[in-house]
Structure 1
Amino acid sequence: MNYYLRRFLRVIVTIWAVATFTFALIRLLPGGPLVQLRAQLIRSGASPERVETLIQSYTKIQPDAPIYVQYFDYITSLVQGDLGESISTGRSVGEVVGGALPWTLWIAIATTILVFALAIVWGAIMAYFEGSNFDLASSSASILAASMPFYVLAMLLIIIVGYEFGWFPTRFRIDPNLEAPVFSVAFVGSALYHSVLPIASMVLTGAGLQVLAMRGNSISVLGKDFVTVARLRGLSDRRISITYVARNAILPMYTSMLLSVGWYLGGTVIVEEIFTYRGIGYYMYEGLESRDYPLMMGIFLILTSTLVIGVFVADLTYGLVDPRIQTGDQSESF
């Protein structure tokens, strides 16, 4: 219980530290976002009184109040779910994020699951045929995929698969002409159809290193004494591969899988802009272009908190995947 309590407190402290860093970016840095925001509002022709009112509305900070009062107001607003108001959209940051976050989470989670499913299966097969032409060709393809930036592949997919062959749409989250209730078959089908290319661009480039990692893990496990004993006992190759090799080879990749959700969330900033896919990555990029500081800071806080929660979930569930963590046993599992 103390272990889980410490991990939970660590999550709270980390999110608090991120929120404090965000406050410092807005208020304390010389020439920072708050100064830029004030200059932007003045150039728009707003009166000095109107400028201060708008700054307070956008950032949830009273510019003339003592610094500790500003900090308290800012943290209190965050705890209440009030992230301020977006300058470019005219809506609250919470409303923008709430409408866009599910789409981004779908891209990030689907990408993570597909990357590791492909890595586990393909890497295990490569290890089984170690040294063969298949292993050599697959390793070369994995290195090539890992070395290609996902945004380059995204543009290639748009040109070849989207424009040349017309197999998949290259823009939007769903068909803009679709008139169907949310979660209807038509709506879900359109959403899946429009997400194929964004997900594929990240899966095909992200799976390269993971495939090689799974291959290395599997080869390492194949050399363990307990695998040799299992073969001497006359167990079938299928049972050895699934029960012994795969189980132990997958364990080191589990934490990496959950941490990758944060990496793919960050990658959506570019992918969603390329595909005009209106998730939080798309709005982060739009906020950067329009200098919408409240929107950028709110999305930054959400992305960072999501990554912290992912690490927390990894800590909580790793003991269920590998019982040795709970007992302190460092030996191989059987």
Structure 2
Amino acid sequence: MTAESTPALVQSADTDGGPAQPGPPAARGPRARNTRAYFRYMAGKIAGAIVSLFAVLVTSFFLFRLIPSDPVKQMTGGRPVSAEQLGSLRRQFGLDLPLWQQFTDYVGDALTGDFGMSYQFHSPVIGKIAEAVPATLLLTGTAYVLYTVLGIWLGTRTAWRNGSKSDRFHTAFALTLYSVPSFWLGLLLIIVFSVGLGPIPGLFPTGGLESGGETGFAYVIDVAHHLVLPVITLVAVGYAQTLLVMRSSLLDEMGSDYLTTARAKGLRDDLVRRRHAVPNAMLPTFTLMFVNLGHVVAGQILVETVFSWPGLGGLFYQALSVPDLPLVQGLFFVFATAVILANTLADLLYPLLDPRVGR
């Protein structure tokens, strides 16, 4: 038998001189190790997400019980109510039970998707949340797509033209918008474009999802008309944040040796930017995109409240004013869960952008 026809053997590490055993091809070793390392990385991230969700469940129960208010008295609206009637309401909502028993009941029910009955709406909490989700997704989802695309595009162009007039203008404008509170910007837009200011007439509704009474295509136009101002408010703040992060990341990459090498090979400046610089600068922006994706479900409490938008943010404000403890707890858990799941998904996808992550 020739040396060329002898199969690859792995010499036994035992000191007794035992026979050599056939081993896997050498190329499979690093690949298998990388796969095992990624699965360990993935298991750690998922375990961390589970622990975080349980911590949110505990926090949502105790945090809102620190509010100095009596939900039962708030529900009676200040009307004269006897002590027996107040006691009956407390028993009805389980507020007469010891705190530890309320907590165990809450955790047990929440793990099955039951967040109890809303105090003010007298309906299941999960049902009220499901009713408000479409309006929130319509508003924040539309804004998310617009400000993500706009922020990445402008952030890339301003960084590549660092120091130009365009770069200085867009950076200053983004910094200004990023520092403006979203609710204040929303109120300003309502004053100027809804109420009307000087020669500017009121062009858009002051709030709400629809005017009512419209059907078919007219209903779509009516909803789009109501969307304009709240979407502009969210896009203004979101695009500014995305632009600044993308610009900073790309500036960090622009002095790298691999870009100099790409130019030395004769690649056009546009190709160097799109094929080499931007993909390597996307990791921080990728993180921000997934954080903002969690906020798509969590909604924007202040903006929805300012524009009387019937979404999760507006519902949370209503629940907090009572306080409607089951509804507040359920919404808080949904908001936190959306952000945690989005961050976990980003962590699991990082190795696809940067192979060094999770190895």
TM-score by length of 2: 0.78
Equivalent of residue 215 in structure 2, options 179, 183, 191: 179
Larger radius of gyration: 2
Residue 122 (structure 1) shift:
0.6
Contact preservation (8 Å) 2:72, 2:89? no
Equivalent position of 2:3 in the other structure: none
CA distance in 2, matches of 1:18, 1:102: 24
1:17 aligns with 2:51: no
More helix as a share of residues = 1
Equivalent position of 2:227 in the other structure: 195
What is the letter of the counterpart of residue 63 of structure 1?
D
Contact preservation (8 Å) 2:305, 2:314? yes
Contact preservation (8 Å) 2:253, 2:280? yes
* CA separation of 1:44 and 1:295: change in aligned 2, threshold 3 A: farther
SS at match of 1:325: coil
Q: Per-residue CA shift, 1:193-233, capped at 9, x if unaligned?
A: 32221121021123223312222222221110000000000
* CA separation of 1:303 and 1:230: change in aligned 2, threshold 3 A: same
1:108 aligns with 2:140: yes
1:301 aligns with 2:337: no
Equivalent position of 1:331 in the other structure: none
SS at match of 1:5: helix
CA distance in 2, matches of 1:55, 1:178: 43
SS at match of 2:274: helix
TM-score by length of 1: 0.83
Contact preservation (8 Å) 2:75, 2:322? no
Equivalent of residue 354 in structure 2, options 322, 326, 331: 322
CA distance in 1, matches of 2:237, 2:95: 46
Contact preservation (8 Å) 1:57, 1:85? no
SS at match of 1:173: coil
Q: Per-residue CA shift, 1:60-90, capped at 9, x if unaligned?
A: x4633x5554333211211222222222223
Contact preservation (8 Å) 2:294, 2:341? no
Uncovered stretches (5+) of structure 1, i.e. residues with no partner: 329-334
Contact preservation (8 Å) 1:41, 1:51? no
Residue 303 (structure 1) shift:
1.1
What is the letter of the counterpart of residue 119 of structure 1?
G
* CA separation of 1:271 and 1:62: change in aligned 2, threshold 3 A: closer
What is the letter of the counterpart of residue 96 of structure 2?
P
Uncovered stretches (5+) of structure 2, i.e. residues with no partner: 1-38
Equivalent position of 1:63 in the other structure: 96
1:126 aligns with 2:178: no
Number of residues of Structure 1 aligned to a counterpart in Structure 2: 316
1:37 aligns with 2:37: no
SS at match of 2:145: helix
Contact preservation (8 Å) 1:116, 1:257? yes
RMSD over equivalenced CA pairs, Å = 2.7
CA distance in 1, matches of 2:102, 2:158: 57
Equivalent position of 1:281 in the other structure: 313
Equivalent position of 1:148 in the other structure: 180
SS at match of 2:300: helix
Residue 114 (structure 1) shift:
2.3
260-269 vs 113-122, which deviates more?
A: 260-269
